[in-house]
Structure 1
Amino acid sequence: MAFRELIDTHGPRLSPADRAIVDVLLSHPTEAAFLPADQVTERAGVHVAAATRLAKKLGCTGYPQLRELFRSELLDGTDAAGRVQRRLDRADDVLGGLVSDETAALRELPAVVPADRLDAVAGRVLAARRTLVFARGNATVLSGMLARRLRRFGLLVTELPGADRDLAEELISLGPDDLVLALAFRRPPRALPPLLRTAAETGAPVVVLTDLPATFGTGEDLDVLLAPRGSSAEFQSLTAPMAVANALVLTLARLAGDRTTPALQRLDELLDRFDS
Structure 2
Amino acid sequence: MIPLNQRLASQYDSLTPQEKRVADFVVDHFDDLISYNSAELARVSGVSKATVSRLFKRLGYEKYKDMYEELRVLRQSGMPLTEPKDIVHGDTLLARHYKQEMANLLHWTTHLQADEFAAAINAINQARHVGVVGYRNAYPVALHLRAQLIQTRAQVSLFPTPGQTLSEELVDYGPQDVVIVIAFRRRPAVIKKLLLLLQGQGVKVVTLSEPQALSIQGLATWQFATPLESVSAFDCYGAAMSFVTLLANALLHSTLETGRQRIHKIAESYQALEELEQR
In which range does the TM-score fall when normalised by the shorter chain?
0.5 to 0.7
Structure 2: runs of 5+ lacking an equivalent = 3-68
User: In structure 1, what residue type is equivalent to 2:93?
Assistant: V
* 1:207 and 2:206 correspond: yes
Q: CA deviation at 1:243?
A: 0.7
Alignment of 1:51-200 (within 5 A): 74-75=73-74, 80-83=79-82, 88-89=86-87, 92=90, 93-161=92-160, 166-200=165-199
Distance change >3 Å, CA 218–CA 261, structure 1 → 2? farther
* 1:256 and 2:259 correspond: no
C-alpha RMSD of the superposition = 3.0
Match of 1:216 in 2: 216
Q: In structure 2, how many angstroms separate the alpha carbons of the residues matched to 1:182 and 1:124? A: 15
Q: In structure 1, how many angstroms separate the alpha carbons of the residues matched to 2:242 and 2:149? A: 15
Q: CA deviation at 1:201?
A: 1.4
The DSSP-based 3-state class of the residue aligned with 1:133 is strand
Q: CA deviation at 1:215?
A: 3.7
Q: TM-score, normalised by structure 2?
A: 0.65
The DSSP-based 3-state class of the residue aligned with 1:82 is coil
Q: In structure 2, how many angstroms separate the alpha carbons of the residues matched to 1:118 and 1:252? A: 11
Show CA shifts across 1:123-161 (max 9, x none): 111111111111111111111110011111133111111
User: In structure 2, what residue type is equivalent to 1:274?
Assistant: L
Q: In structure 1, how many angstroms separate the alpha carbons of the residues matched to 2:258 and 2:274? A: 25
Q: CA deviation at 1:71?
A: 11
* Alignment coverage as a number of residue pairs: 207
Q: In structure 1, how many angstroms separate the alpha carbons of the residues matched to 2:116 and 2:253? A: 14
Q: CA deviation at 1:72?
A: 11
User: In structure 1, what residue type is equivalent to 2:177?
Assistant: D
In the alignment, is the contact (CA less than 8 A) between 1:183 and 1:210 conserved in 2? yes
Q: In structure 1, how many angstroms separate the alpha carbons of the residues matched to 2:225 and 2:250? A: 16
The DSSP-based 3-state class of the residue aligned with 1:272 is helix
* 1:245 and 2:247 correspond: no
In the alignment, is the contact (CA less than 8 A) between 2:149 and 2:156 conserved in 1? yes
Show CA shifts across 1:36-64 (max 9, x none): xxxxxxxxxxxxxxxxxxxxxxxxxxxxx
Match of 1:59 in 2: none
In the alignment, is the contact (CA less than 8 A) between 1:87 and 1:235 conserved in 2? no
Q: In structure 2, how many angstroms separate the alpha carbons of the residues matched to 1:249 and 1:71? A: 39
In the alignment, is the contact (CA less than 8 A) between 1:164 and 1:191 conserved in 2? no
Distance change >3 Å, CA 71–CA 274, structure 1 → 2? farther
Q: CA deviation at 1:207?
A: 0.4
User: In structure 2, what residue type is equivalent to 1:108?
Assistant: H
In the alignment, is the contact (CA less than 8 A) between 1:118 and 1:251 conserved in 2? no
In the alignment, is the contact (CA less than 8 A) between 1:216 and 1:224 conserved in 2? no
Q: In structure 1, how many angstroms separate the alpha carbons of the residues matched to 2:72 and 2:94? A: 30
Q: CA deviation at 1:188?
A: 3.2
Q: In structure 2, how many angstroms separate the alpha carbons of the residues matched to 1:263 and 1:108? A: 34
Distance change >3 Å, CA 248–CA 161, structure 1 → 2? same
Distance change >3 Å, CA 237–CA 129, structure 1 → 2? same
In the alignment, is the contact (CA less than 8 A) between 1:206 and 1:222 conserved in 2? yes
The percentage of aligned residue pairs carrying the same residue is 22
Structure 1: runs of 5+ lacking an equivalent = 3-69
Match of 1:34 in 2: none
Q: In structure 1, how many angstroms separate the alpha carbons of the residues matched to 2:158 and 2:226? A: 21
Distance change >3 Å, CA 182–CA 71, structure 1 → 2? farther
Q: In structure 1, how many angstroms separate the alpha carbons of the residues matched to 2:85 and 2:165? A: 37
Q: In structure 2, how many angstroms separate the alpha carbons of the residues matched to 1:86 and 1:165? A: 43
Q: TM-score, normalised by structure 1?
A: 0.66
